[in-house]
Structure 1
């Protein structure tokens, strides 16, 4: 039988014999066992070769980026736009509720966005985006329709629809929309993630303006419904364009929802600790910059647009750092960006007392802090196995969820009174946390870099040899 096969096979060069011999030695479909190892069939080997070749561009890949951008425009973008909703809730819809209770609705959105990512990451590894994106789209649109039906001073209705239900819906959109980019990009992954996450910053600029323009014309209920239709249109495009490319496990268990194996990698552990510290302070300027501007006597026509300025500067902040990260390495860009944010908090916001300095801080902080959202998943993707990328992203986002949930309330506890002393405490708190996160990121960079590890080991051994020689003398 083997002689027949040999006569039928065409002659090939020596460099091509291994694939041919492999193809001839296996049974199609399931393969054979040789020396205790399963030898894949030619079809399986070809699929594996295709999976290993990352397109890094092309029509299909950039359509995925478009769909991911629209999904993030809806999910994280609506979270960034919550300030506009809170203003209306406090003044008109829920006047009997406290400001802290109303702000909890927005905090819940952020919490669900990241915390449920713990499960959606593993679900993405198992089933891809074909189920989660449509389900998340339906829940998100339905939640906004329910918000439009909320009655005056019925806080529980807004809490359940806008806080819980909408938060769960967007959590099914966010993590898969970021993780799927790892299927299509490798060398240009940071750029792709930067462009996609730029959609969330755009949503934070457009949605508040849209809501503010619609409420006086059609009223709050129809303004929210129009936004819901816009959301639905964006998500329809996302469902049609976002798809996975690599093989999926097709297996999901609650026990494996969190990838505990990632914590064995010191780079992953350090990046997670840094993410907790950075995102603990990340939203403090977004929540309190307008209050600070009003306290300093900034004109309402300027202070009302400070949050929009922060979000607008986030758009280039998601893309520009990503371009440099693709070329020079993620941590090479991430560490300086975080360091600049520390300097801006302690060196610019802390002493600012007039419109010019406050506007400058808002623009610069938005420009540099926006890189956090794109550089963090990019780095996690670069150090994670392909088959567990979604789960590891989800585990990091679980930690980030806790940080964002308690970060701004902690800031509120420090700002017991609206005066300079308590604002200084708030700003210093944010600056110290950001500085600590920067230091942990730098340590992760040392662990990640083989050259730096060898340099520190060499220096450590040299110092020990010097001390030993001194002891002998």
Structure 2
């Protein structure tokens, strides 16, 4: 019987390289594409990403404090939904610009994105400190629009660059950098709570802006991509090198068109698992941040002592650091295997603990456990997308997923705010039921994605 020779033809490979010189660099860069998965340089990058998350997510996770101060002092004539929309805009721009920022990062690296985002973020905080009472549009422009654009230029490169340095240890590395958001979420609310009574809202925000500036300067110095942008562009173009070479010979129009079509990477939607990831992200992010926005106001509504209620958000963010062991377990047992039960339990906590809570103890217990378990989604989602994406497409595909998160975040918290129509008799019961059911629905989609990978219970996914 004749044996079918399935080995690649060396002649064909050489001919291809001669015909398309851009392909000749692929073999030489193959070794570089292997992630070091550790080392001083790699962990310095993670340290820079930690500081970037501290600076950006620390402020975002403090919006519960901003929301309460806006509602009582700066924007007393605005509804809860309107004030929530300011924070929702931050999340919308943070995630919504990710598809474009992710592709720019894939093609050109972080050399321009990080400094530009740092400048915009600090300027936006300075402008927030100057906003006037009942001038709602000023808060929308400074705290919603400008701040959201600034942080997305920082967040997307900071969360994506881990895929260039880590592979097997990526869930843990992303968990470490994501813990910066938790630490920042503890420090920033305390800065505001302590300084506002002493120096006023304006100077309290300015002090926080200087803290953010220091962190972002260090981030710009330590965060760097491992592969030269040109190498990544060559790899991205390799599959269509022949077509582009021909287009270049014809006058270059095809190359320009190819660049435009590659600005947003839509190739992931050919994969059913990627589509399920987008669907789960949309539903989960619809409700993900509602407790962070409303738990402080809920604690005050339940007449919890102010010495506790004003620090509930900080306690939640501090507790979220404890999700790091779960990220470590994800390295051993699989990202999705940790995400599914953590997200499912966080939905159960909303209905079983937050809904019947009336005093300080159950509210704080809920906030702490919810922050730990729901935060696993934020920490491990990039690792899950990275596991199903080639390294050179990771930024673009993660950006597509985050676009769904952006839309959900934009409408989620204002939807919840619609339940709180009357400050005297707010509809917190409906708000909590809505939150819990949405999280459980998103968890079901994660279960479907897990089963699609494998029906074996102990299979590493």
Which residue of 1 is the match for residue 330 of structure 2? 325
Out of 35, 46, 64, the residue aligned to residue 28 of structure 2 is 46
Whether the aligned pair in 1 keeps the contact of 2:64 and 2:292 (CA below 8 Å) is: no
Whether the aligned pair in 1 keeps the contact of 2:419 and 2:431 (CA below 8 Å) is: yes
SS of 2:232's equivalent in the other structure is coil
Q: 1:255 to 1:50 in 2, by over 3 A?
A: closer
Which residue of 1 is the match for residue 298 of structure 2? 292
Q: 1:269 to 1:44 in 2, by over 3 A?
A: closer
| CA distance in 1: counterparts of 2:16 and 2:350, whole angstroms | 62
Matched, 1:231 2:215: no
| CA distance in 2: counterparts of 1:398 and 1:40, whole angstroms | 32
| CA distance in 2: counterparts of 1:254 and 1:345, whole angstroms | 44
Matched, 1:339 2:344: yes
Whether the aligned pair in 2 keeps the contact of 1:128 and 1:248 (CA below 8 Å) is: no
SS of 2:427's equivalent in the other structure is helix
Which residue of 1 is the match for residue 233 of structure 2? 249
Which residue of 2 is the match for residue 80 of structure 1? 61
Which residue of 1 is the match for residue 415 of structure 2? 410
| CA distance in 2: counterparts of 1:310 and 1:35, whole angstroms | 55
Which residue of 2 is the match for residue 156 of structure 1? 137
TM-score by length of 1: 0.83
Whether the aligned pair in 1 keeps the contact of 2:286 and 2:408 (CA below 8 Å) is: yes
The superposition leaves residues 8-52 of structure 1 with CA deviations (integer Å, 9 ceiling, x where unpaired) of: xxxxxxxxxxxxxx8xx99xxxx952599769898763332122x
Q: 1:73 to 1:418 in 2, by over 3 A?
A: same
Task: Say how many residue pairs are matched.
Answer: 426
1:188-227 to structure 2, matched below 5 A, reads: 188-227=169-208
| CA distance in 1: counterparts of 2:442 and 2:20, whole angstroms | 46
Out of 418, 427, 452, the residue aligned to residue 422 of structure 1 is 427
Which residue of 2 is the match for residue 366 of structure 1? 371
| CA distance in 2: counterparts of 1:189 and 1:368, whole angstroms | 19
Offset at 1:95?
Answer: 4.0
Whether the aligned pair in 2 keeps the contact of 1:313 and 1:366 (CA below 8 Å) is: yes
| CA distance in 1: counterparts of 2:24 and 2:261, whole angstroms | 34
My pick for the range that moved more, 156-165 or 212-221, is 212-221
Which residue of 2 is the match for residue 312 of structure 1? 318
| CA distance in 1: counterparts of 2:181 and 2:333, whole angstroms | 25
Which residue of 1 is the match for residue 361 of structure 2? 356
| CA distance in 2: counterparts of 1:287 and 1:234, whole angstroms | 25
TM-score by length of 2: 0.85
Q: 1:445 to 1:238 in 2, by over 3 A?
A: same
| CA distance in 1: counterparts of 2:57 and 2:31, whole angstroms | 35
Q: 1:231 to 1:258 in 2, by over 3 A?
A: same
Matched, 1:89 2:54: no
Offset at 1:325?
Answer: 0.6
- Give me the CA root mean square deviation: 2.8
Runs of at least 5 residues in structure 2 that lack an aligned partner in the other structure = 1-9, 235-255
Offset at 1:137?
Answer: 0.8
| CA distance in 2: counterparts of 1:195 and 1:83, whole angstroms | 24
Larger RCO: 1 or 2 (CA < 8 Å, sep 6+): 2
Whether the aligned pair in 1 keeps the contact of 2:85 and 2:413 (CA below 8 Å) is: no
Matched, 1:182 2:187: no
Q: 1:326 to 1:420 in 2, by over 3 A?
A: farther
| CA distance in 2: counterparts of 1:40 and 1:127, whole angstroms | 17
Whether the aligned pair in 2 keeps the contact of 1:32 and 1:39 (CA below 8 Å) is: no
Whether the aligned pair in 2 keeps the contact of 1:32 and 1:38 (CA below 8 Å) is: no
| CA distance in 2: counterparts of 1:42 and 1:268, whole angstroms | 31
Q: 1:218 to 1:349 in 2, by over 3 A?
A: closer
Which residue of 1 is the match for residue 244 of structure 2? none
Out of 56, 59, 64, the residue aligned to residue 45 of structure 2 is 64
| CA distance in 1: counterparts of 2:331 and 2:59, whole angstroms | 28
| CA distance in 1: counterparts of 2:200 and 2:351, whole angstroms | 42
Q: 1:405 to 1:192 in 2, by over 3 A?
A: same
1:11-26 to structure 2, matched below 5 A, reads: none
Which residue of 2 is the match for residue 268 of structure 1? 274
Q: 1:421 to 1:93 in 2, by over 3 A?
A: closer
SS of 1:370's equivalent in the other structure is helix
Runs of at least 5 residues in structure 1 that lack an aligned partner in the other structure = 1-21, 455-473
* Structure number with larger C-alpha Rg: 1
Offset at 1:448?
Answer: 1.6
| CA distance in 2: counterparts of 1:90 and 1:427, whole angstroms | 20
